[in-house]
Amino acid sequence: MKTQLISLIRSTFVGIAAWLLVSSVNAAGLLTPTDGSLPPLTIKDHHVEVIIEDGYAITTLEQVFHNPHGEDLEAHYSFPVPKKGAVSEFTLWIDGKPIVGEVLEKQAARQIYEEEKAAGRNAGLTEQDAYRTFDVLVSPVRANADTRVRLVYMQPAHIDTGIGRYVYPLEEGGVDEAKLAFWTANETVTGSFSFDMRIRSAYPVEAVRVPAQPGAVVTQAGEGEWLVHLANDSAGEPVVQQLGNGEPASADTAGGSSKPGVPAYRLDKDIVVYWRHKAGLPGSVDLIAYKPTPEGRGTFMMVVTPGEDLQPIQEGRDWVFVLDISGSMQGKYATLSEGVQRALKKLRPADRFRIVLFNDGTQELSSGFVNATPDQVRVFSEAVSRVAPSGSTNLYGGLQRGLDVLDADRTSGLILVTDGVANIGEVRQKKFIELIQRKDARVFTLVMGNSANRPLLEAMTRESGGFAISVSNSDDIVGQLLAATGKLTHEALHDVELNISGVKTSDLTPNEIGNLYRGQQLVLLGHYWGDGMASVTLDGRVSGEQKQYRTRFAFPAVATENPEVERLWAFASIEGLNQQIADFGENPDTKQAVVDLAVEYGLVTDHTSMLVVSDEVFAKHGIARDNRARVAVEQVAQIQRAQRAAPSRRVDTQQPMYNSKPRPNHGGGSFDMLAVLMLLPLVWLAVRHRAVV
Amino acid sequence: MPMARHSTKGPLPWLSLALAGLMAALFAALGPAPEAWVYDRAAIGHGEWWRLLSGHWVHSDGGHLIWNLGALLVLGWIIEMRNRVMLLTGLLAGTLGVNLMLWLALPELERYCGMSGVLNTLLLFAFAALWRVATAPVLVAVGTLSFAKILVEISAGQALLTNAAWESVPQAHLAGWLIGLVLIIAGFAPQADRAG
């Protein structure tokens, strides 16, 4: 017990110390050079509005930057790239008028921005720094004045094991040491902050949970409609302001930088929201389409939610935990340690495990495979909690050592927990893939934080047939582990293929589906022509046996409610192209394909940026206002969707693909405070009549 | 009803303490919702019958455990002080009733853990035990309130106050409550015999 206490104190101390070390720079915020050459600006207001409907989330961020100094300055706002987040709108208010940005090739956008900045004219630029951050540049923020910007991004919002998860990423991962050394981040909102989420679902939503935000107010507006509100200046009333209406969110556009009596809000902690569908919903196929004209090309997103027919695995298995203990894990290690301890406790006695640690080098915590008995689990849980992260990240070395110790005679899985930025040793993705291909083991990755090299980690896990799960410090770690554990302890549907006949389709993404684990949805995007009934078959193998699921449903001739599906398809296609670049190296054709898609669909990528300049400058450079037109179409659709109840997108009602098998779910029984309070009268009566027999 | 006072102190409810200790020890040793112990419909279908018993003794998180632990100690103490055998009877009957409900009426519920369904059987047994010595109106009120709470939770589709990692299943509470009522009506209520 004493050892456990000391261990707990030590790990807590390490966690707090690590947090203190990194918190000044590990957050979304306005960046200022650490050398003090430029005075800092402030974030006056920060308002976030999220709508989750039809399988995707639209996040609108509206900010007001304030310049309290006597000279014009440039604002540089940086925030972590949201998972699969596609920036689709960047609007800057110039002379009180909102100007929607246009997407250009990265260098061209930067050049025009620099020209405008040098000329002292208003300009804005949103760039992507690989998988790490989106950077918003605005110049100038006038002396003693405010500048207002709006950023919109969209991302898939799918359900896993009946639970949806949304993350508004604010914690910077602390993995880019050069950037951290150069910049200091001001993550404090001096004026008003609000976060408003609206979840709209045709499937009943039973509960919504915001685990790390005790001030969040959750209200139910209907069977499938919930609201989440978080703010620093209200007592739970949802923000009424309508973002995107062209009028400033803040009444004053100049002057003071803080509101009296309103506590400052720090943008240093992710906001994670879960929503839980009603238990027992059947497996289903949903179709969200956009086809503005009958004769034209349509775009669709098909979401297959499997029913429960994957059985638990009975035989004992070997697990190798490969844990990142590099310095960048300092702020996340407490979460990692807790997660690993809980995972160890979930192993069956017939299972065995090994623990491999890596930073500059590698070491094995266990000596060979250890049986997962309660004693061994306790011993190694304590050992994991005692580790203090430090050094660099030799991810390849850690992975190699983990794979080298596998026993070829038993079914094995490798659980990799990392923030995923390989910075010493082998760092080429191609080599990682080759390493994975040499061994017959599935890799399951828990991706810690927002700055992980997700492309690399997802490529590795996909190659091995495993899966990757993201974990934030604000996550409900038990819930995330439950979702992961359910996948590891049950059979999976392997080598999944989906075929559509009866309607012409093309440009399907992803090209290869791979494996489907328990609770996972399959999301397929593509184009189609015409309309009418289509037959859809899903084929795969479970424990060597071939399985097939079928359904029939109609593709619509015209569908105008979800124009955002086009951008989601383009983003998914770009992800596929980026994967090719990572696997086989960059070639001009593939890069040009990325640029063309991003420009056509108005998406910020590694190779394209979103530029805002005045209408005259756009005209002078001959830049078409395609994104402005696309944004206008999307805004009209969003207004129309908001005026009616969320419709069902399920298309396999007549011929259910899963024969109405329910989605996987679990439950528990608990007495609560009210039930226990009701026992008090019984206690009183029992004490009063204690000696009566 | 004849009443006799022998002393102000009774023996320790060692069975209740032992059962509560077992519940806490399982959580400490196995952690939340241990995969091999929870009620798992598919696994039970494959012959893992022990889950029908073990699932009620493991919990999905610390809060889930604490509330159920407290209720087991209180209810176990009240029943055990009157009749220890009846405590065991209540536990077994509650387990059977809740399992029947889960298996027959909730086929969509794949996994379940926790003691609260069974505790509702013990709640009824505690009512019966106290009813024999104190027919207080408060017992009627508490009994009515507990039943109403279950009905409200079933109609709302969720628990009123719990926030456990695994969602509450009020139908299991109803099963436990009803099996307790049936046993009382059938004459299996706790008798006023000193345990041990």
Tens of pLDDT, residues A383-405: 998 999 888 888 999 999 998 87
Query: What 3-state DSSP class applies to A391?
Result: coil
Task: Note which residues in 532-591 of chain A have CB less than 8 A from chain B.
Answer: none
The pLDDT score that the predictor gives to residue A674 is 74
Predicted TM-score of the model (pTM) = 0.71
Question: Is B190 contained in some domain?
Answer: no
The mean per-residue pLDDT over the stretch A451-475 comes to 83
Is residue B49 predicted with pLDDT exceeding 70? Answer: yes
Residues forming beta bridges with residue A238, ordered by sequence position: none
Question: Is B193 contained in some domain?
Answer: no
User: How many beta-carbon contacts under 8 Å exist across A and B?
Assistant: 199
Is residue A241 predicted with pLDDT exceeding 60? Answer: no
Interchain proximity B30–A280, CB inside 8 Å: no
Question: Is B116 contained in some domain?
Answer: yes
Is residue B163 predicted with pLDDT exceeding 60? Answer: no
- pLDDT tens for each residue of A612-666: 999 999 999 999 999 999 999 999 999 999 988 888 999 988 788 887 555 556 6
Is residue A196 predicted with pLDDT exceeding 80? Answer: yes
Which amino acid appears at position A17 of this protein?
A
| Domain architecture of chain A: domains with CATH | 318-488 (3.40.50.410)
The mean per-residue pLDDT over the stretch A375-384 comes to 89
- Percentage of residues in chain A with pLDDT exceeding 90? 39
Q: Which residues of chain B neighbour A686 with C-beta distances below 8 Å?
A: 77-78, 81, 126, 130
**Partner residue opposite B116 with nearest CB, options A345, A669, A683:** A669
The pLDDT score that the predictor gives to residue A478 is 59
The answer to whether A669 contacts chain B (CB < 8 Å) is yes
A566 sits in which H/E element:
helix A564-584
The answer to whether B6 contacts chain A (CB < 8 Å) is yes
Asked if residues B107 and B132 have their Cβ atoms less than 8 Å apart, the reply is no
B131: nearest CA partner in chain A: A685
Give the count of domains, chain B.
1
Place of tokens 């039970």: B44
Query: What 3-state DSSP class applies to A507?
Result: strand
Question: Is B30 contained in some domain?
Answer: yes
The pLDDT score that the predictor gives to residue A231 is 93
Q: For residue A12, name the pLDDT band (cuts at 50, 70, 90).
A: very low
Alpha-carbon separation of residue B77 from A117, B18, B54, B83 (angstroms):
77, 11, 22, 10
Question: Is B6 contained in some domain?
Answer: no
Query: What 3-state DSSP class applies to A72?
Result: coil
The pLDDT score that the predictor gives to residue B159 is 58
The pLDDT score that the predictor gives to residue B2 is 36
CA of A359, closest CA in chain B: separation in Å?
Answer: 29
- Percentage of residues in chain A with pLDDT exceeding 70? 85
Is residue A342 predicted with pLDDT exceeding 80? Answer: no
Domain span including residue B103: 14-185
Which amino acid appears at position A621 of this protein?
H
**Partner residue opposite B149 with nearest CB, options A346, A670, A674:** A674
The pLDDT score that the predictor gives to residue A296 is 93
Alpha-carbon separation of residue A527 from A179, A538, A540 (angstroms):
40, 18, 23
The pLDDT score that the predictor gives to residue A247 is 39
The mean per-residue pLDDT over the stretch B3-13 comes to 54
Query: What 3-state DSSP class applies to A41?
Result: coil
Q: Comparing A21-35, A565-579, A669-683, which segment has the lowest mean pLDDT?
A: A21-35
Is residue A18 predicted with pLDDT exceeding 50? Answer: no
The answer to whether A504 contacts chain B (CB < 8 Å) is no
Is residue A450 predicted with pLDDT exceeding 90? Answer: no
Is residue A434 predicted with pLDDT exceeding 50? Answer: yes
Sequence-ordered list of residues with C-beta below 8 angstroms from that of A141, at least 6 positions apart, any chain: A41, A65, A66, A67, A72, A73, A74, A75, A147
Query: What 3-state DSSP class applies to B20?
Result: helix
- pLDDT tens for each residue of A61-77: 999 999 998 889 999 98
CATH number, position B60: 1.20.1540.10
The pLDDT score that the predictor gives to residue A9 is 36
Question: Is B57 contained in some domain?
Answer: yes
Question: Is B2 contained in some domain?
Answer: no
The pLDDT score that the predictor gives to residue A160 is 86
Sequence-ordered list of residues with C-beta below 8 angstroms from that of A47, at least 6 positions apart, any chain: A61, A62, A63, A192, A193, A194, A196, A239, A241, A243, A249
Q: Comparing A79-88, A296-305, B14-23, B107-116, which segment has the lowest mean pLDDT?
A: B107-116
The pLDDT score that the predictor gives to residue A682 is 83
Provide the mean pLDDT of chain A.
Answer: 83
Is residue A273 predicted with pLDDT exceeding 90? Answer: yes
- Percentage of residues in chain B with pLDDT exceeding 70? 83
Asked if residues A94 and A122 have their Cβ atoms less than 8 Å apart, the reply is yes
The pLDDT score that the predictor gives to residue A17 is 33
The pLDDT score that the predictor gives to residue A4 is 44
Radius of gyration of chain A (CA): 26
The CA distance from B109 to A363, in Å, is 43
ipTM score here? 0.80
Residues forming beta bridges with residue A59, ordered by sequence position: A50, A153
Question: Is B37 contained in some domain?
Answer: yes
The pLDDT score that the predictor gives to residue A260 is 54
